[in-house]
Amino acid sequence: VTGMSDSLDRDIRWHVYDSAMKCGILPTSRDLAERLGVAIDDVREGLQRLGAARMLVLQRDGEILMAMPFSTVPTPFVVETAEFSAYGNCIWDAMGIAAMTHRDARIVTSCADCGTASEVRVEGGEVFGEGVVHFAIPARDCASRAAR
């Protein structure tokens, strides 16, 4: 049974990231069940296992909240590429979407300090923009709670 669940979990992860990288969208458990041809309850159990393994972060209802660097829900870090728009969980992750998909990107955000609109562009493997990035949580504390 463990082998079967391992295989399902790998398939789920593949489809989650495939959807994210191609469309910028994290699939629902229903999307995954249809795509994989398995029961939705099996998918939901798989998502729970992937959440427990810190591969994903789940919403309270068991749907995917984050598959790093992508977010299901709107965030202040909008990533626009030629093919899709997506939400990053933070500026690190917003740039991570450009890095993971090897795409140029325009990141639309705002200064967390003063609220001024801010734009960061990734073009040809280089980053352009103004400002500094502030990390609020020490890495040790972040590592103990995040699913990076």
Partner 1 sequence: MSLETTWRLAQAWYSDDRRPAEWRRRTVDEVESVFALLGLTSEFWRLR
Residues in the site for partner 1, rule: CB under 8 A?
10, 13-14, 17-18, 21, 54-55, 67-69, 91-93, 95-100, 102, 120, 122, 126-127, 129-135, 138-140, 143, 148
Question: Which residue number, 61 or 126, has a Cβ lying nearer to partner 1?
Answer: 126
Question: Which residue number, 61 or 124, has a Cβ lying nearer to partner 1?
Answer: 124
Beta carbon of residue 65, minimum distance to partner 1 (angstroms, whole number) = 16
Beta carbon of residue 124, minimum distance to partner 1 (angstroms, whole number) = 12
Beta carbon of residue 19, minimum distance to partner 1 (angstroms, whole number) = 10
Question: Which residue number, 60 or 133, has a Cβ lying nearer to partner 1?
Answer: 133
Contact 33, 40 (CB under 8 A): yes
- What is the rounded CA–CA span in Å between residue 139 and residue 97? 21
Q: 116, exposed or middle or buried, with CB in 10 Å at 0-12, 13-18, 19+?
A: exposed
Beta carbon of residue 69, minimum distance to partner 1 (angstroms, whole number) = 6
Question: Which residue number, 64 or 95, has a Cβ lying nearer to partner 1?
Answer: 95
CA-closest candidate to residue 26, choices 42, 8, 12, 11:
12
| Helix (H) / strand (E) containing 122 | strand 117-123
Q: Which residue is it, tokens 């990035």?
A: 133
Q: Phi then psi for 6, rounded to 5 degrees?
A: -60, -45
Beta carbon of residue 50, minimum distance to partner 1 (angstroms, whole number) = 11
- What is the rounded CA–CA span in Å between residue 33 and residue 30? 5
Question: Which residue number, 60 or 134, has a Cβ lying nearer to partner 1?
Answer: 134
